[in-house]
Structure 1
């Protein structure tokens, strides 16, 4: 009879199998629960803060992409965007990846080999020898900062790294790491660190500089250069030594790199063109990157020039300089004051936009309109003698008179009496209207109307507007708006506005090219004009060549007089030095437009040989003097009263003179006077019109009427 089998008598092999099966079930159950829990935990994680990670300091760059100025973020951090392919030294990138993440380009966010190596080293040596975090895991930690260092935190970084790799490309991950990596204090990103520690972009770094930038993010506060330079040096040298052991750096290069000193003080961030960058930030408030038309090399050179000259002129004197490209209107340099932080000079006031008295700097436009109207030529003779216009009697700056001179000489020597005589003939209102039409703005005193005094500075204007107007002369009579911010979406060409006709503008430039330069200044290099306002409050000099226009203002920001301050001695030398410091060779002015009259005084047509004020007619002999009987000079003609799209014909009646006679409207021939000495003229449009009749002997008469 067989005995019953009990548990005690159950074979050992059967019990082992049962225990093994139970253990497998338990482990499987545990893994399932763990995986389920981890999965639920992963699902519960909030979205990664990609948007916040892309918040950076506003950077203002020049036309070539060079940093002019950066603005700290609202919390005071400096974080500049960095792109691995364009902003960073390839040697630094090679060193960074060799030291931090050798398999960056191949892993999926987590490097199992690196984690295994780090765990083994920790187990065998009792301390951390090398980290197992990839660049992507470090980026995850930067995006979600955690104070504790635990297995849970490391697991979270790994999960986040996988998520980052799924959403971003490798290039985007590297760019974001280079932007967010901490470098001590309020410095984030390799570009901010390179500017703060080396004073330059990280595009060209020495081995020592690159190793230092690799070492700092591992422990940014303990290795801060301005607090713990020796710890930073030791960390840098460890990076170099490890790269030698791994064959990435030669022993000779390493030895030289270790001898290089470590910076102990932070440098200031780039701070060029503070007035221009302030204005651009006010206009483009939410932009991370603002691109200006400025050229940082020219800007830096002219800021130094303004500082030097202001220091020589006195502690209260300020200087403003503006440079514009003639062809495009792009502002290449904008110096609003010698020192932005100089309280005594009101350094934060932008003197390129301040309204000041222009002195004689408007005279070229008076002469230009006179040339356009055809009643004067640069070689015409004009009187520089005491003259009175009602109660107004202009005088020259030196209180002397030169008698009969050429118009060329009068403009080059900035004689006041001839300029006012021409303005009286051109009309102050017409000058104001033409400057406004060209985009300039003249500010008159309250309740004042344009008058003759504006020709000598009795009006307000900004350096910005003067530069635009003078650039219009260089462009042969057409002005374009000055532009300082480059709008990527704006591809339209700037709207041009008429200043004067081409021949008149060329003649003005030709005359100004011969203006005597300041002491030691080269002749016939630039066309320029100086100006000094009443009471020695403002000194100006504006000039141009075929490429650019530069304007200079000198004076006190508060408008107080500066005894002895003259445009010729204070502003003109700065103008010539500014042209030299741009590093550009002078470009000749444009050639004379077709049809421009080139003749000496003796060979000019009779009416152009000598300037005569309005109403002073040429006497030609025994014949009756030519004069326009209708319309009268200064008359208002209602040519559009009927509301027709095209104005009614304007009758012109002439007395005296010798047939045939030519009729001109605003300097353009419109036909001949008939045998009855009459002609019907099509009105040129509402506004002022200059009607001129010239007879066979060269005698002429002109009236100015207002058509409405």
Structure 2
């Protein structure tokens, strides 16, 4: 007996040994098969991508290399109802089986043998995913291959990985793969917000994507969906009441159309995303849609080949909320593929607010400083105004509001172009100069390149206490902020621009404390190539560019006419629920009453020297006087002190032959170039009294004199035929350059006594002014009769 027990134990040991050996052989064989036939897992960087709005809504989808639209989504971001329907209907034992369910396979095989056809499938979710990633023919060999791949999936990626592959790769008809793409394509909503009926529909759709497509075969799709609902209620996963209510819901699907909002921004973000499949942006989809609709409607009447760019930024975060890079991405005539938000274009006059802000910070001006808008030269540079007219003496505030060129060039000349360029660059406003060019005075009128996104980031400083920022397009973009001007200067510049009357609105009716508190500025580049409008509210900053991407001119189209109406329209469309406080006046800014022509506070000068009184803003307690004139002249602006005879009122010099009762006197002189625009009373108040006959010349008298020859003051002119009236005029009394103005508009330029011909086609009264570089001037009026 004992021998038999030994033999039995030996036999049992041998069987265990053979069993272990067999298991090792099977394991080694499986490992070799796994190595020989590696699992063909899809690449995470297949070329497809989706760019999302800030709420997760797709802005634009990019198909992969095979033309498939796919929006990757994590399982925890999918509705639990969908996951319940998917597992409950397709594979109830998914979380328990090893990838293959033998019971389900045997049942399916038995049903097929009894009925002569396939009645129900025995595939698990693992097997379905195996077929998705490694398609095969429906043959016994193909089935074995599918089983092998399913086991590999279980081994390599596990249950959650298999589920993730199904969520991203399951076919849903057409070029749609994955539940998130299908949910957006058919239902217009994310897979996280599915109802019972919608979850059941998307769970069954991959069984026969072409036959059950809800946009083409709604009846078949509804019948298949209802089958899922009955199964879910029968299994007790969903209540009978929920299933009943879901069956009442009709199948209504949208036609398949990939979203395409903020198309050029989406393309830009995708290019910089390094293969990421889901790219989050900062765009507000509701605002983006409104902006795109308004831009498309607005440009229907503009010249052909006109395009536009528009950017809306949230001042609090510097995140872009709306982005239009071109008018129409598919319009080749408009070069719609060119993103004008980041294109280099001439900025026109849009840099002027920063110049005035820096001039305030440097103590050059206050808000009502006296500037002169009159023809003058800056070396070889002779700028003019957009409308060719001149305004004479203007305040800094009005010069900025009216976008006058001469005062801006004068300020830049004093500030220094290189310094201005460096300070802008430090604040993030990069400028592009022509090859070989250096910062010069033309930059303030657009003689340089700038980008819309940089300008918008800079204009936001007016509502952010002087701090500019780089525009952010994704939540992960770093916050880059630099100060471009002080808080006080930003507040003053914003206050000036906020009070600019809108076109068509009478100045006295304009409500500066109105609905949006929009501070705005326009610009037009040389040759009508670029029209700009930039504006900022306490909450948002908006930038608009209009032009032709190829740089050809658009005569008659300029910032205030072409870009500003769109800016104002978009400003009225900004979200109303956003609360943003009105920028409070900083402690560094204080009101002060000043007088022209000296520009200093009222209380610091005698009343007789105050020709015009104005309410101004001072910065840091500084009230700078009127800027000194750029050229040394015999007659210079400012206060002039002298002695007069107490009896006769005549001026006394230091050397007089007779004794006089001397009394000190003072006079405030205007800048010489402002003289033609002064009232007679102001000219008289700015003139020295005559010198007493017994006193030696003190060199203070104004010696500059100019006389217009060719027409007399008060004349009436008429031609002898129907031809326009022609007048030959010349300026006597100077060798300088002379600029000729008719009704305040520059019409000609001569030197010395050289004659020029002026033509008048329209009847009426006219004013002719001759203004020499040295300050000498003459003015007269005449009439032209109608024939």
Structure 1: how far apart are the matches of 2:308 and 2:243? 48
User: Are the structure 2 counterparts of residues 210 and 354 from structure 1 closer, same or farther at C-alpha, using a change threshold of 3 Å?
Assistant: same
The within-5 A match list for 1:215-294 is 215-224=204-213, 231-243=220-232, 246=235, 248=238, 250=240, 257=247, 260-261=250-251, 263=253, 266-294=255-283
Gap regions ≥5 residues in structure 2: 1-15, 596-600, 606-622, 644-653, 655-787
Measure how far apart 1:526 and its partner are. 1.7
Post-superposition shift, 1:154?
4.4
Q: Does 1:621 align with 2:606?
A: no
* 1:132 pairs with 2:122: yes
Matched, 1:608 2:624: yes
Question: Whole-Å Cα distance in 1 between the matches of residues 640 and 571 of structure 2?
Answer: 49
Which of the numbers 566, 589, 601 marks the counterpart of 1:574? Answer: 566
Deviation at 1:370, TM superposition (A): 1.5
Determine the C-alpha separation between the residues in 2 that align with 1:351 and 1:435: 21
2:405 aligned with 1:401: no
Superposed, which structure 2 residues align to 1:487-636 within 5 Å? 487=476, 493-494=479-480, 496-518=481-503, 523-524=512-513, 525-584=517-576, 585=578, 587-602=580-595, 603=601, 608-614=624-630, 618-619=638-639, 621-622=641-642
Contact 2:82 2:200 (8 Å CA) reproduced: yes
Q: Which residue of 2 aligns with 1:76?
A: 67
Contact 1:316 1:344 in 2 (8 A): yes
Query: Take 1:425 and 1:55, find their aligned partners in 2: how far apart are those partners?
Result: 56
Q: Where in structure 2 are the equivalents of 1:458-469 lying within 5 Å?
A: 458-469=447-458
Asked if the contact 1:385/1:403 (under 8 Å) is kept, the reply is: yes
Q: Helix, strand or coil: the match of 1:528?
A: strand
1:616-663 Cα distance to aligned partner (Å, 9 max, x none): 563352599xxxxxxxxxxxxxxxxxxxxxxxxxxxxxxxxxxxxxxx
**Structure 1, 127-136 or 608-617: larger mean CA deviation:** 608-617
Q: Name the CA distance, whole Å, in 1 between partners of 2:151 and 2:380.
A: 87
Distance in 2, matches of 1:561 and 1:205, equals 52
Deviation at 1:556, TM superposition (A): 2.0
User: Structure 1 pair 312/253, CA: closer, same or farther in 2 (3 Å)?
Assistant: farther
The answer for the alignment partner of 2:671 in structure 1 is none
User: Does structure 2 conserve the Cα–Cα contact (< 8 Å) formed by 1:545 and 1:586?
Assistant: no
Equivalent residue of 2:624, what SS? helix
**Partner Cα distance (2:545, 2:531) in 1:** 6
Alpha-carbon distance between aligned partners in 1 of 2:179 and 2:398, rounded to the nearest angstrom = 60
- Cα-to-partner distance string for 1:470-514 (whole Å, 9 max, x where unaligned): 123333333333333454xx7x653x3342333222221221121
State the distance in 1 between where 2:379 and 2:504 align.
39
Mark the CA change 1:333 to 1:535 in structure 2 (over 3 Å): closer, same or farther: same
SS of residue matched to 2:51: strand
What is the deviation of 1:572? 1.8
CA 1:49–1:314 in structure 2 vs 1: closer, same or farther (change >3 Å)?
farther
Instruction: Indicate how the Cα distance of structure 1 residues 601 and 49 shifts in structure 2: closer, same or farther if over 3 A, else same.
Output: farther
Deviation at 1:131, TM superposition (A): 2.0
Q: Which moved more, 1:124-133 or 1:343-352?
A: 124-133
Aligned to 2:763: none
What's the counterpart of residue 377 of structure 1? 366
Q: 1:656 maps to what in 2?
A: none
In the alignment, the residues of structure 1 paired with residue 512 and residue 125 of structure 2 have an alpha-carbon distance, to the nearest angstrom, of 62
CA–CA distance in 2 between the matches of 1:63 and 1:335?
16
Give 1:169 shift.
5.0
Distance, in Å, in 2 between the alignment partners of 1:449 and 1:312 is: 39
**1:528 shift after superposition:** 1.3
- Normalising by structure 1, report the TM-score: 0.74
In the TM superposition, what whole-angstrom CA distance separates every residue of 1:56-107 from its partner, at most 9, and x where no partner exists?
A: 5222223444322222112222232122221x23322222222112233344
Q: Normalized per residue, which structure has more strand? A: 2
Distance verdict in 2 for CA 1:277–1:518, change over 3 Å: same
Q: Contact 1:421–1:613 (CA<8 Å) still a contact in 2?
A: no
Alpha-carbon distance between aligned partners in 1 of 2:101 and 2:319, rounded to the nearest angstrom: 51
Is the contact made by 1:517 and 1:523 (CA closer than 8 Å) also made in structure 2?
no
Q: 1:122 aligns with which of 112, 119, 136?
A: 112
* Mean Cα deviation higher: 387-396 or 69-78: 387-396
CA distance in 1, matches of 2:503, 2:194: 45
Structure 1 residue 343: Cα displacement: 1.5
Kept in 2, the 8 Å contact 1:53–1:180? The answer is no
Q: Could you say if the C-alpha distance between residues 310 and 45 of structure 1 is closer, same or farther in structure 2, counting changes exceeding 3 Å?
A: farther
Partners of 2:39 and 2:153 within 8 A in 1: no
RMSD: 3.6
**Is the 1:479–1:498 Cα contact (8 Å) retained in structure 2?**
yes
1:599 aligns to what SS in structure 2?
Answer: strand
Taking the aligned partners of 1:251 and 1:588, their CA distance within structure 2 comes to 50
Does structure 1 conserve the Cα–Cα contact (< 8 Å) formed by 2:358 and 2:485?
yes
Change (3 A) 1:127 1:428: same
Within 2, Cα distance between the matches of 1:212 and 1:97? 14
Among candidates 189, 195, 201, match of residue 212 of structure 1 = 201
Please state if 1:439 is matched with 2:428: yes
**Alpha-carbon contact 1:324-1:548 (below 8 Å) kept:** yes
8 Å Cα contact 2:528-2:558 kept in structure 1:
yes
Structure 1 residue 362: deviation in Å?
A: 1.4
Q: What is the rounded CA distance, in whole Å, between the counterparts of 2:407 and 2:216 in structure 1?
A: 69
Cα pair 2:39 2:149 within 8 Å, conserved = no
Q: 1:450 aligns with which of 412, 435, 439?
A: 439
1:456, distance to aligned residue in structure 2 (A): 2.2
Aligned-pair CA distance for 1:552: 0.6
The SS at the match of 1:99 is helix
Q: How many residues align?
A: 591
CA distance in 1, matches of 2:275, 2:232: 42
Unaligned residue ranges in structure 1 (runs of 5+): 1-27, 625-708
Shift of 1:567: 1.6
- TM-superposed CA distance for 1:542, in Å, is 0.7
Q: Contact between 2:417 and 2:440, CA under 8 Å: does it hold in 1?
A: yes
| Match of residue 61 from structure 1 | 52
Instruction: Tell me: CA distance 1:230–1:34, structure 2 relative to 1, closer, same or farther (3 Å).
Output: farther
CA contact (8 A) 1:336 1:349 kept: yes
CA contact under 8 A between 2:45 and 2:275: conserved in structure 1? no
How far did residue 51 of structure 1 move? 4.3
